[in-house]
Amino acid sequence: MIDADLVRHAVEAAQRAGADAADALQLASDSVEARVRGDEIEYVKQARERALGLRAFVRGARGLATALVSTSDLSRDAIQKLAEDAVALARATAPDPDAGIPSDGFARDWPELELLDARDRAVPLETRLAEAREAEAAARAVDPRIVNSEGTSVGSSFDAVALANSAGFEGRYESAQHYLSSSPVAAEDGAMQTDYWLSLARRRSELAPAASVGRRAAERALAQLGARSVATQQVPVIFEAPAARGVLGSLVGCLSGGAVYRKTSFLAGKLGERIGSDAVTVIDDGRRPSGLGSRPFDAEGQATRRTVAVEKGRLASFLLDVYSARKLGARSTGNASRGASSAPGVSPSNLWLEPGRGTLDELLRDTGRGLLVTGMFGHGFNPVTGDFSRGARGFWIEGGERAYPVEEITVAGNLADLLRDVDRVANDLLWLGSIAAPSFRVARLTVAGNS
Amino acid sequence: MTTSAPLRFFRERFGVDEGSLARTLGTALDGPADSADLFFEYATRDAVVLEEGIVKSGDRHLSQGVGVRVSAGEKQGYAHSDEIDTHSLIQAATTARAIAAGPAASRSVAVRGPAAPARDLYPIGSAPTDTPIAAKVALLQQIDAYARGRDARVREVLASLVCQNRHVLIAASDGTFVADAQPLLRLNVQVIVENAQGRREVARQGGGGRFELGRVLLPSYWQPLVDEAVRLALLNLEAVPCPAGAMTIVLGPGWPGVLLHEAVGHGLEGDFVRKGTSTFAGRLGQRVAAPGVTVVDDGTLPGRRGSLNVDDEGTTTQRTTLIEDGILVGFLQDRLNARLMGVPATGNGRRESYAHLPMPRMTNTFMLAGQDDPADIIRSVSRGLYAVNFSGGQVDITNGKFVFAASEAYRIEDGRITAPVKGATLIGNGPDVLTRVSRIGFDLALDRGEGTCGKDGQAVPVGNGLPTIRVDGITVGGTER
């Protein structure tokens, strides 16, 4: 899939054109995706994508000036032209003492991360379509109130990454991703509800059975029928694992080196300080076997590793790429990520909130009265201040049980307060992507509703 | 008919002509297939970003490819490739056909034309991507200096300018054959302020559209954007916690039209309606808004971010009335859903790029002006919220629940605008919220050209607009009683 010489060729072309340093990243992807609704295929899409991104650095009076160029035309002529464009562009920008490629910290070992099962390449499209039909049928079979569907999507992509730079690093790896996602529609008394469930894995053998995904999605949609709003009040709020993941996602943005050096994170300047309760431990690990965010090296060739970001409530480390590390006087944590046409930025690899003890049901029982949030929507979060306000759905909890479904409500507060008010974390850590969380409880949040 | 410049572009660069298009479409079509289409794209984008007082990087990107679609009934086969040559075209067509309709002999298709779009909504001398980067770097440096000079509390300025030029060529088995060149640019300014107590706040403003770079380079264009970002960031320093619960809302003119985008726009897209997964399905002719509320989607406004000469299926864009005097009268259609529902396409078939299937999408969506004086509307509220700036929103089209996040809002007390409040999410019910519109101002305004809509993982530029309106009873996601 990858022409191993191409990235090296691009780096050399940039150097010949006058670059003092350069790196080149090539991405190649072959993918198929399809959606089935009921028994019928809605679409099948096959794609072949190739792209190359080149960064060129030109030395100025104070540091290096940078340009980033990319193309999906990978002919040698196009790359030659690209390299010349890059150097010309760099000469038009300002030198920056912190810009440039790293000189050390490169990955040297290539651990087996189990990111691909070669046998999966041979799986015919018909098999994937059959799985989608199976999920749709299983959803319908749960209850006659499952009357419609937004469909079941299935897909597989086989991806390859190659990176070379003028410091002599050269690396490549291949990975795959497979998924099945179901969105059935439940209806009763003229009102409709939908929810989804999915399974996502590096290897097909790790996907959940299709029927179980369809069933779970249907159960979630059905449980939401008859939802209503509640009165505005402050109560304990439990975030069920999928919603807890959304909260963690907001935190991740604030742990990112870019936001920290730009001071657009409320965590800027708080390294070493207590930012959460003892129940809050957040870990990033780029080498978790078959992890959806695993990679042997990051987008700058840095070896991936395990970073404890928050340890029992104490802010232990930010997540850094080379540039933000230089800005903050630290070392990269191997969290650089980029596409062919984007500059490196920080992203988590596999990041999770450490699970605690007890099940979600035990947590509900111990809570007595409050709100269980099963899903959130909207983007109401201000990373500079930590203030958040999100649309929510879920269940009202009375007597330690789900009393009735709720919707058209919001939960709001400040993320700094929320982290300090996390008083219980359950044991149900759930991986639905590269960020994962177990269910957890916040002692008190404002829930806004219909009064 | 003369050959349009965009078509000449594809002919000269890739050797695409009527003959090769006809052969490819012929390969794509077979017995059970209803239609086939080809979408060629050649897009260039450049970007400059300023932070910490310097433009740290210049970017330039090239993306090219072709997508071949074959439709049979409700089924679509799609194959795309980033190589544009005769061999790749035939291969993609064969794949798309096999997916949609199974193998069969090819059918002959005539491709005649070529057609230039019926009108030009973005007549510009040179594309913004043609201007050398130095002018763009200089603009951002001026913006940085100007913003810092506005107030001593301005600590950091992030500014970016993204210029695009997208050439498309669309050929379909029904004879559609059209090419277009679509310029787009967007300027973004973000300001971080800090007061003496160490409290930090941020605000963003953006603007742009399908017009010449020269317009953006004028201080009369960018200075108001910067002024507004600085004003908002400083205002946020003074903001008090937002009230929580259901209350009367007054929405200001312009960008708050994002309410329409989320509350009704998505639910009126033909795919959701046809499949019956939208809460608006089957409600044509029914009242879904208060009398006086008329909502349109209009892709024909010259130079606007959401406008297009033709959509990504080659259909000429138009103005479509969705809600007329409170009654639901129309949906947004691409060709597939229009065919399956037996109605005309409305020029709303859009896609992010050649790597994506088209879907019904909005263009510029807005509510027509009413009669009320905006000042009277505010005076009519004894206790409520006046919201004038928003960040994004989201909707669940099945249950109709939508959210949108206010980034500038004030309390209204006894008919007067009082304290600014912190950002908060507003949540409502799509089919219900417009029935609660009780006053409509005469001050319709469209946004500055900053909207991007996401659906099924595809991002497309859109516009919004609204006059000042009063809505009785939306839940506000604040923290205070």
CB burial of residue A77 (10 Å; 0-12, 13-18, 19+)? exposed
Q: How far apart are CA A49 and CA B65, in angstroms?
A: 9
**Do B159 and B305 belong together in one domain?**
no
Closest by Cα among B298, B232, B260, B286 to B440: B260
> Chain A contact for B13, CB < 8 A?
no
Give the structural domain span for B342: 244-477
Instruction: Tell me, rounded to whole angstroms, the distance of Cα A427 from its chain centroid.
Output: 21
Q: How far apart are CA A50 and CA A121, in angstroms?
A: 18
Q: How far apart are CA A322 and CA A331, in angstroms?
A: 7
- pLDDT, tens digit only, all 451 positions of chain A: 777 799 999 999 999 999 999 999 999 999 999 999 998 999 999 888 899 999 999 999 899 999 999 998 898 898 999 999 999 999 999 999 999 999 999 999 889 999 999 999 999 989 999 999 999 999 999 999 999 999 999 999 999 999 999 999 999 999 999 999 999 999 999 899 999 999 999 999 999 999 999 999 999 999 999 999 999 999 999 999 999 999 999 999 999 999 999 999 999 999 999 999 999 999 999 999 999 999 999 999 999 999 999 999 999 999 999 999 999 999 999 999 999 999 999 999 999 999 999 999 999 999 999 999 999 999 899 999 999 999 999 999 999 999 999 999 999 999 999 999 999 999 999 999 999 999 999 999 999 999 8
> Chain A contact for B71, CB < 8 A?
no
Q: Which of B398, B432, B458 to probe the A interface (max A CBs under 10 A)?
A: B398
Cβ pair A73:B425 closer than 8 A: no
Cβ pair A408:B245 closer than 8 A: no
Residue B42: list chain A partners with CB under 8 A.
none
Q: b/e string for B85-97 if b means 16 or more Cβ within 10 A?
A: eeebbbbbbbbbb
User: How far does A178 lie from chain B, in Å, by closest CA?
Assistant: 17
DSSP letters, B260-314, are HIIIIIGGGBHHHHHHT-STTTT-TTSB-S-TT--EEEETTSTT-TT--SB-TTS
Query: Are the CB atoms for B106 and B30 separated by under 8 Å?
Result: yes
Residue B423: list chain A partners with CB under 8 A.
380, 382, 387, 389
**Do B99 and B172 belong together in one domain?**
yes
**Do B309 and B226 belong together in one domain?**
no
**Count of domains observed in chain B:** 2
Domain boundary among B238, B254, B278: B238
**Do B170 and B276 belong together in one domain?**
no
Question: Which pair of structure tokens corresponds to residue A140?
Answer: 């319908």
Q: What is the pLDDT of residue B2?
A: 43
**Do B264 and B171 belong together in one domain?**
no
Residue A377: list chain B partners with CB under 8 A.
394, 396, 401, 403
Among all residues of chain B, which has the CA nearest to that of A341? B61
Name the architecture of domain A4-35+43-91: 2-Layer Sandwich (3.30)
Cβ pair A448:B244 closer than 8 A: yes
Instruction: Tell me, rounded to whole angstroms, the distance of Cα B265 from its chain centroid.
Output: 11
Cβ pair B56:A94 closer than 8 A: yes
**Do B89 and B19 belong together in one domain?**
yes
User: How far does B1 lie from chain A, in Å, by closest CA?
Assistant: 32
**Do B354 and B415 belong together in one domain?**
yes
Among all residues of chain B, which has the CA nearest to that of A83? B60
Residue A32: list chain B partners with CB under 8 A.
none
Question: The domain A118-221 belongs to what CATH superfamily?
Answer: PmbA/TldD superfamily (3.30.2290.10)
DSSP annotation of A348: -
Q: What is the pLDDT of residue B116?
A: 72
Cβ pair B79:A229 closer than 8 A: no
Residue A149: list chain B partners with CB under 8 A.
277
> Chain A contact for B179, CB < 8 A?
no
Instruction: Tell me, rounded to whole angstroms, the distance of Cα B160 from its chain centroid.
Output: 19
Residue A99: list chain B partners with CB under 8 A.
56-57
Among all residues of chain A, which has the CA nearest to that of B65? A72
Domain boundary among B179, B206, B238: B238
Cβ pair A387:B423 closer than 8 A: yes
Name A359's Cβ contacts closer than 8 Å, sequence gap at least 6: A426, A427, A428
ipTM of predicted complex: 0.92
**Do B312 and B293 belong together in one domain?**
yes
**Do B193 and B68 belong together in one domain?**
yes
Domain boundary among B197, B217, B238: B238
Question: What is the tens place of the pLDDT at every residue in A43-85?
Answer: 999 888 899 999 999 999 899 999 999 998 898 898 999 999 9
Closest by Cα among A209, A33, A34, A39 to A133: A39
Domain range annotation of chain A: 4-35+43-91, 118-221, 227-451
**Do B292 and B234 belong together in one domain?**
no
**Do B207 and B252 belong together in one domain?**
no
In chain B, which residues have pLDDT < 70?
A: 1-4, 30-31, 101-115
Q: What is the pLDDT of residue B216?
A: 96
Q: Which CATH number goes with the domain that contains B86?
A: 3.30.2290.10
**Do B103 and B167 belong together in one domain?**
yes
